[in-house]
Amino acid sequence: MNVRTRRELLAAAGSVAAAGLSGCTGALLPGEEDEDAEPVDRTGEETVTVDVGADGGFAFAPAVVRVDPGTTVVWEWTGVGGSHDVVAGDGAFESDLVAEEGATFEHAFTEPGTYEYVCTPHQTRDMKGTVEVVEG
| More confident site: 14 or 60 | 60
What pTM, to 2 d.p., does this model score? Answer: 0.74
Q: What integer is the mean pLDDT of 48-58?
A: 97
Name the architecture of domain 28-133: Sandwich (2.60)
Q: What's the mean pLDDT when you consider all of the chain?
A: 83
With bands split at pLDDT 50, 70 and 90, how would you rate the model's confidence at 114?
Answer: very high
Buried b (16+ CB within 10 A) or exposed e, 98-128: beeeebebbbebeeeeebebbbeebeebbbb
